[in-house]
Amino acid sequence: MNQKPETGNQKRAMPTSLVTGGAGFIGSHLVDRLLAEGREVRVIDNLATGREANLGAAGGRIRFVRGDILDGGALGALCAGCDTVFHLAALASVPRSIAAPAESDRANGAGTLSVLLAAAAAGVRRVVAASSSSVYGNVGEGAAHEEMPPRPLSPYGVSKLATEHLLRLFDATGRVETVALRFFNVYGPRQDPLSPYAAVIPRFIAACRAGRSPVIYGDGEQARDFTFVSDVVEALLRSADRPAARGAVMNVAGGRPTSVRAIAGLIRALVPGAPPPVHEPARPGEIRSSCANPARLREALGFVPATPIAEGLRQTVAAG
């Protein structure tokens, strides 16, 4: 006898997820993916760096709160009934943290503690949080792996290391499962080029489109493990469900460094008539080389970011 399909209240409910910083660059891409999978999504963002326009594709399908993650009341209400919290809210800038270290510590350190307290009190199953390659400091020519002693060179890196310690503490004491993902130079559509602390790729694209020479700080041979945003979203989603990811700290990158000078050349080739770059003195606190060993990610999630830099840049430029 054939079983009737589930309908109405018989349908199996999809898990509910909260995304802090969900109106930001990475957060909004994650929101789109969660919705595409049929999940109920809630977002909190104070719009300090995020934009409601990034959530345009979400329409009225999400519950959005414009608020600060240090607002325990708002955060507690959003965590209630959630299965997973993706904690992406942060002030993600090395130069900004050097200029305003207390602001960076408040947003990233105290903010993470606020999220973990709210999630634990609400009975959330797992918190997946963004850390950063900045915790390593300058590792020289080799690839960074998670067993290396962290030596951050900026208040931002210090705040992200504090985030990791808080996550470990809450997991080890059984209050909530956690995962920390060390992102390496994420790029893609919706990355803001207008901020004075904007990442190199959106700045270069905006300059080339405007007919201005992109500015390279230093000699341009500083190398980064650029990671396309869709690969980061995949890592976030897998980290929410895989048992092997619980309690882990993992690099999220493909292990393929590219120099800033090479990035400038690739972008110029995609923007007709773009002028050549100009060089200015290197900035304080900037890491010379940053490359990931993704072995732990591969082992825990069965996945490693693999979007080629040329393809990721093509999609980013094409998105406008």
Q: Please give the Cα distance from 152 to 159 (Å, whole number).
A: 9
Q: Is the pLDDT of residue 7 over 70?
A: no
Q: Please give the Cα distance from 151 to 23 (Å, whole number).
A: 30
Q: At what angle do helices 309-318 and 200-209 cross, to 10 degrees?
A: 50
What does the pLDDT read at residue 169?
A: 98
Residue type, 141: E
Q: Which residues contact 10 (CB under 8 A, 6 or more apart)?
A: none
Q: Is the pLDDT of residue 8 over 70?
A: no
Mean pLDDT, range 24-53, rounded to an integer = 96
What does the pLDDT read at residue 10?
A: 47
Determine the straight-line distance between the first and last CA of the chain, rounded to whole angstroms: 54
In terms of Cβ atoms closer than 10 Å to its own Cβ (0-12, 13-18, 19+), residue 320 is exposed
Model pLDDT for residues 283-300, shown as the tens digit of each residue: 876 778 889 999 999 999
Q: What is the pTM of this model?
A: 0.91
Catalytic residues: 156
Assign domain 15-184+227-255+293-305 to its CATH architecture: 3-Layer(aba) Sandwich (3.40)
Q: Please give the Cα distance from 234 to 318 (Å, whole number).
A: 21
Q: pLDDT-based confidence at 11, cuts 50/70/90?
A: low
Mean pLDDT, range 207-217, rounded to an integer = 95
Q: What is the mean pLDDT of the chain?
A: 92
Model pLDDT for residues 134-189, shown as the tens digit of each residue: 999 888 778 999 999 999 989 999 999 999 999 999 999 999 999 999 999 999 99
Which of 26-35, 95-104, 194-203 reaches the highest mean pLDDT? Answer: 26-35
Q: Is the pLDDT of residue 6 over 50?
A: no
